Chains A and B, each alone.
Chain A
Amino acid sequence: MIRETRRRGAWLAATVLAAGSLIATALPAYAETGVSSSEIKLGITLPLTGAASPGYNKIGNAMNAYFKYVNENGGVYGRKITLIQKNDEYSPQLSIAKTNELILKDKVFALVGPLGTANFTAVHKSVGLAKRGVPSLFLNTGFSGFAKKANYPASFMILPSYAMEAKIIAQFLKENHAGKKLGIVYQNDEFGIDGMGAFKAAGTKFDVTVPYTSGSQSAATAQTWVSQLAAGGAQVVVFFGVTSATAPLLAVAAGAKYAPQWILGSVGSDPLTLRALGVPVAVLNGAQTPAGNPSPNDTSDEYVKQFQEINTKYNTGTAFDDYVLQGMNIGLMTVQALRAAGPNPTRKGLTSAIETKGSTFASVAYSPLGYSKTSNVGHTGYYMAVMDANGDRKPFGGTVKLYTTDSGSGPVVLSTFKRPAMPAKGLPSNS
């Protein structure tokens, strides 16, 4: 009897010990996914290789360079930021697979700067980001559909929407190209249709309309676009597509001696990428484009100057261009968001911090940020710029004339907004 009781006691002790050790090993050092006492893990999917990679492939490394700089200067409340980059080759199905890896395998705290309208639409649905409550910060796409907070409760845009961009171009056309024959080449998907809807609402009537299916762009298809534009006598041509389509369009038009006034949308107007794709610089000379940020060559700008210094030290050998500037700026915004979430960040806390404090974050872009409890809209405006013979851009008319608007029926207004100053040494101290 005694022996049996002892044996039972031994079994009980062993069970308690085993269960205890299991619980002890199962308990994480910190209760939130992707956050430990010394590290915050973030993830990004972007095209590091493939046709769409030129330019975009710099964003991750630029963000990483900024995070390295912050880590060397104390991190975020003592925690170092680790950014895991995954190559999705700009394909939605790879993007889903890689985001799955980031969330289920690498167990990141949040996604930062995911790229591409179709990619993020598919990822958000398939991976179930809203249901999981995984914050997706500062999307590298301007699709206004992502501004529906009810559908994308934990996602935050950073770029002005394509609808805003179209409305501002429409205003610019009215003010500067009235009476001229207008043409437009646009990508026939959410991205282009987003813009076309806004042009229609703004009352812009195009004399020649050339839609193209994403992926069909080539020198051969560009021939047909140029023929249609030239036959229709378009004097001002708006291009609302991606850089891989801008390049053949401009190259073919130059070859055919067709030289309208080009207005290149923000997505397809990066000079370095255009040049890398073989577009003669002379064609870019005089092209007009909406821009949100200062030129990456404008060293008189405090943000540009600071980011250039960080780039030289932590991103050695990479030319400083719009993509690097955008990547660093997303890094800067992310650090402010993490700081605003407090010393013990949670996914919910991070989302709530951007909603309540995000509109005051420092950012390189000139326009205000639209974050609030009911809005996940990022920057809300553009100024028009002109490209010079070197592919650099200067504000149209010599000074920055900032227009702000919304993605709906709101008016386009000339803004006097003054952006917040760059935090001292580029290191945010907000809370």
Chain B
Amino acid sequence: MELWPEVRCAVRKKIAFFILLGWLLLLIGDRIDELRVYQGAQIAMYTIALASIVLLTGYSGQISLGNGAMMAVGGYAAALSLNKLESPVWFAFLMAVFFSALFGALLGAAAARLSGPYLAGTTLALAVGLPEIANQFAFLGGVPGILFDVGFPPARFGEEFTQYKWFFWIATFLALLSLFITSNILQSRFGRTWSAIRSNPLAAELSGIHSSRMKILAFTISSALAGLAGAVLAMTISLVAPGAYTLTLSFALVTGAVLAGVSSLPGVALGALILVAIPEIADVLANSWGGGENFSNYLPGLIVSLLLILSVIFTPNGPGENLRRHHHKKASEH
């Protein structure tokens, strides 16, 4: 009985922390230039996408290389809802979550029978094939895709309030909401159950955990998050197109999650920051080497691959995880 007030207090503290963080981010958004504001919206988008990987891979132990495909499901669901049903924007985001969760549940049911490289292979095939389906159906817009227009910011924010700041506000709100919900889920009995399945599936089964059902649940929630990220991505480019949800995106997400430490939810913001910084670094490198534009588009992919390979060789759990362990070790020594 004594536990409940403590839990309530912890939740209140967490809510206060997220509100404070949101307020701080909005303050920062007011003080940086427009390009950085736009990149801020991208960081928020990647944060949601990486949270979906942390939940799926870091906690439930299922490897997915197909998060880009889940994002595509969310993006198309949102755009079709907005364009065909003429729904309000918030409903479009809700549809992204709903349809990607549904898709995730179906995939999860199949994936629960697979593990390790087989699961990775299946999801990889999905990442390659699913966005290409759009090329075959006219209502999905083919290569040019379909527009996803969340509209101008409300007039009461004033003339100076730019479209990108509006994207930043929406993306940041959704990212903070996603992180809040995900962190609560991970700290609940679900999170502990997933960790148990990941650490020792047999022991988990023996202690009464229905591991397939829990794996499907993980897949469903992870897909819902990825779908939301897909819709946020569509918002930032005002468009849903197969080219936005490429295999490169799926690999970049895996790399971001590994670099940040795949079982760390707070690390996702760092991973997201790295993913947005990579094209900037590539641009500087391409310009300093000369001949820039012909290969600057390919350099980010190369950097992502290199970082993933180096990370797997030297820090299999990711540099973020190593840093955290080092920090814990130091703290326990003192």
Interface assignment of A105: CB less than 8 Å from any CB of chain B: yes
Instruction: Chain B residues near A215: list those with CB within 8 A.
Output: 135, 142-143, 242
Contact (Cβ within 8 A) A188 B239: no
Contacts A125-B147, A213-B136; A49 near B243 (Cβ below 8 A): no
- Select which of B138, B243, B294, B295 is within 8 A of A188 by beta carbon: B138
Query: A48-B294, A87-B293, A125-B238 known; A105 and B35 CB under 8 Å?
Result: yes
Cα of A128 to Cα of B138 in the assembled complex, Å: 27
CA–CA, A189 and B163, complex, Å: 27
> Which residues of chain B come closer than 8 Å to A128, judged between CB atoms?
162-163
Contact B294 A126 (CB under 8 A): no
Asked whether A126 and B239 contact (CB < 8 A) given A87-B296, A104-B35, A131-B163, the answer is yes
Query: Which residue in chain B gives the minimum CB-CB distance to A104?
Result: B35
Report if B86 contacts A (CB, 8 A): no
The digit string for A117-144, where 1 denotes a CB below 8 A from any CB of B, is 1110110011010010000000000000
In the complex, what distance in Å separates the CA atom of A411 from the CA atom of B185? 66
| B35 in complex: contacting residue of A91, A100, A117, A188, CB < 8 Å | A100
A128 to B142, CA, bound (A): 24
Q: In the complex the two chains form, what is the Cα distance from A118 to B241 in whole Å?
A: 10
Bound together, the chains give a CA A403 to CA B149 distance in angstroms of 38
Chain A, residue nearest B238 (CB): A126
B38 near A93: Cβ-Cβ < 8 Å: no
Q: Which partner residue on chain B sits nearest A116 by CB separation?
A: B144
Which residue of chain A lies nearest to B298 when distances are taken between CB atoms in the complex? A49
C-alpha gap A304/B131 in the complex (Å): 44
- Interchain CA distance A213-B242 in the complex, whole Å: 13
Asked if A428 CB lies within 8 Å of chain B CBs, one says: no
Contact with A along B142-167 (1 / 0, CB 8 A): 11110101001000000000110000
Find A91's partner among B137, B149, B238, B243 (CB 8 Å cutoff).
B243
A347 within 8 A of B: no
In contact, B243 and A93 (Cβ under 8 angstroms): yes
A190 surroundings in chain B (CB, below 8 A): 144
Question: Is B297 an interface residue when CB atoms closer than 8 A count as contact?
Answer: yes
- A83 to chain B: closest CB distance in Å? 12
| 0/1 interface trace, chain B 27-54, chain A, CB 8 Å (1 if under) | 0000001110010000000000000000
Q: Is A214 a contact partner of B162 (Cβ separation < 8 A)? A: no
Q: CA separation between A215 and B236, bound complex, in Å? A: 23
For A53, the closest partner residue in chain B by CB is B294
Q: Which of A87, A92, A97, A126 contacts B241 (CB 8 A)?
A: A92
**B138 in contact with A49 (CB, 8 Å):** no
Chain B residues with CB under 8 Å of chain A are: 33-35, 38, 135-138, 141-145, 147, 149, 152, 162-163, 236-239, 241-244, 279, 283, 293-297
- In the A-B complex, the 4 residue pairs with the closest CB atoms: A118-B144, A215-B143, A126-B238, A214-B142
Q: A117-B144, A126-B239 are in contact. List 6 more A-B contacts (CB 8 A).
A: A92-B145, A93-B241, A104-B33, A104-B34, A126-B163, A213-B143
